[in-house]
Amino acid sequence: MAQSQQPLTGKRIACLAADGVEDVEYTQSRAAAEQAGAEVHLISLNSGEIQSMNQDIDPANHYRVDRTVDEANAADYDALLLPGGTVNPDRLRMSPQAMDFVRAFFQQQKPVAAICHGPWSLVESGMVRGRTLTSFPSLRTDIRNAGGNWVDLQVQVDNGLITSRNPSDLPAFCAKMVEVFAQGESVRQMASA
């Protein structure tokens, strides 16, 4: 690919995920960023590997963790990717270190992309208030209770925050993620933790 076709060349993306991540949301989002020229690191709660799932119930693949959340620093990355799966963000939101990592991207005004159940980390980290986003429909009440505006759209962008509902939205999600990450559009620091 020519440089002009790789809008994320020179960018480093942190992908925060744990056991239970939805395989297609992790692999397709990561592939889109890498094909656009980004260097992507898998950040997780523990070293070793994580186990992905298909539709939350069928084991899929194992992926090598590049750094633990304790080793990673948001300052070393240009953007954050939060894939879904029900179990993955539920595990992440139980980790204060993981939520501090998510919060740091907002504090540093770096773009963030979350799909499906990924926005649970945004709710838990206090980064939803005053923002418009979408997610898997079951998070609608959580987002509203956290002060966010939930919409039922294929992809929603709110000042550097990109969200989508489910795996069928991946083409639109990946395209918008690459576009916003390339622009380096910053997320507004408007939510309170």
Structure tokens of 32?
Answer: 């889109």
Distance in angstroms (rounded) separating the CA atoms of residues 190 and 167: 29
Q: Is 116 a catalytic residue?
A: yes
Q: Of the residues 15, 41, 62, 117, which is catalytic?
A: 117
Distance in angstroms (rounded) separating the CA atoms of residues 47 and 39: 19
Q: Is 174 a catalytic residue?
A: no
Distance in angstroms (rounded) separating the CA atoms of residues 57 and 136: 17
Cα dist from 49 to 39, 67, 112, 127, whole Å: 19, 10, 23, 28
Q: Of 146, 143, 118, which is closest to residue 133 (Cα–Cα)?
A: 143
Q: Of the residues 15, 41, 116, 174, which is catalytic?
A: 116
* Catalytic machinery residues: 116-117
